Structure 1
Amino acid sequence: MKNLLLLHGAVGSSRQLEGLAKALSSEYTVHTLNFSGHGGRELPEVFSIETFADDVLSFLDAEGLTSVFIFGYSMGGYVALFLARHHPEKVSSVFTLATKFEWSPDIAQREAKMLDPEKIQEKVPAFASALKARHQPISWEQVLSRTAAMMLSMGARNPLSTPDFSAIMQPVRLAVGDNDTMVSIAETTAVCRQLPCASLAVLPNVQHPIEKIVIADLAREVDLFFRNP
């Protein structure tokens, strides 16, 4: 069976992809990992797309995987395309879901403000509790703080630009929900047009959080693409 790697999003962990992994396990050998500082893994000095890409490369080497299909949710999709650009021999094709590509200082400031631990604890205590459980024994507050710093860094210098997207030759499917308030259809379409072998999927009635997506529907979309990229 084909080797399929699932990459989680920012402040997430591999556990948020367990349902998708199970749904695809009959057709693929599914692999998951936690990025550094996520899911209880030791915090790196800084969070960055480069650091997380190195996590994937180390995982592939440890598992003896020469090349994989990659599904990346949100930040995981960005990491997948970064790998496709800089380590093309490792990536057969990529399916991204709800990946934010448009980063500027203003956008980064707006997104980083949403990761204020004190405000989350005050206004959404259930989410704070979920983050604590997801990342223990690592401080969930530090995970949010370092993610916010990474966003600000991406706002100052986007790790992927038009020349990078234009150099990605693998088949790519960019999926975005029509009710996603973080990632716009316009920014996803703009990047799709820059990729030489890409297609766009706008998913109806889908918001940004993967927890709110019907997993059976998502698994079907992913499987159809990787069967005929």
Structure 2
Amino acid sequence: MPHATAPDGTRIAYQVRGEGPPLVLLAGQSNNHTWWDPVRIDFDERHRTITVDWRGTGASDKPDEAYSTRGFAQDVIAVLDALGLERAHVYGTSMGGRVAQWLAVDAPERVGKLVLGCTSPGAVHGFERSQEIRRALADPARTERVLLELMYTPGWLARNPGPYYVLGDTTMPTYAKGRHLVASNKHDAWDDLPSITAPTLVLHGTDDIFSPAANAQLLAERIPGARAELIAGARHAYFHEFRSVASPAVLAFLAAQHGS
């Protein structure tokens, strides 16, 4: 598996598939590139898709030091550099959407179009999950089931016994999981969002309480020219359960002539 080298020397694993305009797909907190496995084929037919294993996950290095969403964005830029890509579209979900915000802020010339899924501007100005959810996720005996119910509707879970790709990288060291949690919790791009120049689509499930759906309109109002689309009935993993709606929406946005 190829690796890029981040500015601090950390080796970042990446994966490339498909042909066409490059599209970077960014996964959620404490997950690696397999987050995208169920739906990646939707994009491979029209795009050269690029995924990464966040530092601390998968085949990337796992330094035991402070991580940040802004630092993760620099890791993604290192991958673009390794591939010789001056510019790519970026689709980030959950924590990947937070990282994508920094990519568009810090390296606007590297981002074609921007898609932000089930994410937020950060805890200071955004809408956060309830304390009840936080307590439930902190209970090891309940974490997996609670997380599944936050990701998917009960009906979908009843019809789909797994495997599931959004529950975290089970090979991660415990310290790396903690580093990811802190990085995501400390994210705050609010003051910089108005500087984003990339055409931006914000996607969110209406029934997402893991990252509350109210964050979608916040982001759309804060980023110039952005628009929000809410997917009725969807929870946090809208891109998987509601792929028949979500993937075509992203592909249509990327194919439109504005801004790219």
Q: TM-score, normalised by structure 2?
A: 0.74
The Cα offsets for residues 113-164 of structure 1, whole Å up to 9 and x where unpaired, read as 5653xx22x224677x98998342x32x33332223224433xxx2x123x1
Amino acid at match of 2:43: L
Q: Is the 8 Å Cα contact of residues 122 and 185 (structure 2) preserved in structure 1?
A: no
Q: Equivalent residue of 1:94, what SS?
A: strand
Instruction: Judge which range, 207-216 or 12-21, deviates more.
Output: 207-216
- What is the aligned partner in structure 2 of residue 188 from structure 1? 216
CA shift in 2, pair 1:132/1:186, >3 Å: closer
- Structure 1 segment 23-62 matched on structure 2, within 5 A: 23-44=42-63, 45-62=65-82
Query: Which of these residues, 186, 204, 208, is aligned with residue 232 of structure 2?
Result: 204
Please say if residues 178 and 207 of structure 1, whose CA atoms lie closer than 8 Å, have aligned partners that are also in contact.
yes
The aligned runs of 1:77-88 (5 Å cut-off) are: 77-88=97-108
Structure 2: which 5+ residue stretches go unaligned? Answer: 1-19, 148-162
Q: Quick one: distance in 1 between partners of 2:29 and 2:110?
A: 22
- What percentage of aligned pairs have identical amino acids? 21
**Conserved 8 A contact 1:108-1:151:** no
The count of residues paired between Structure 1 and Structure 2 equals 219
Q: Name the CA distance, whole Å, in 1 between partners of 2:210 and 2:144.
A: 21
Tell me the distance in 1 between the aligned counterparts of 2:237 and 2:74.
25
Greater share of residues in helix: 1
Question: How far off is 1:79 after superposition?
Answer: 0.9
Q: Does 1:142 align with 2:175?
A: yes
Equivalent residue letter for 2:40: A
Deviations along 1:84-125, whole A, 9 cap, x unmatched? Answer: 111001101111110122403995894765653xx22x2246
Matched, 1:153 2:181: no
Q: Which moved more, 1:19-28 or 1:211-220?
A: 211-220
Is 1:175 matched up with 2:210?
no
2:7 aligns with none
Residue 40 of structure 1 deviates from its aligned partner by: 4.2
Does the C-alpha gap of structure 1 residues 223 and 56 become closer, same or farther in structure 2, counting only changes over 3 Å?
Answer: same
- Across the aligned residues of Structure 1 and Structure 2, the Cα RMSD in angstroms comes to 2.9
TM-score normalised by the chain length of structure 1: 0.83
The separation in 2 between residues aligned to 1:90 and 1:10, in whole angstroms, is: 23
Cα deviations across residues 146-199 of structure 1 (Å, max 9, x unaligned)?
223224433xxx2x123x111111100011100100223332212211211211
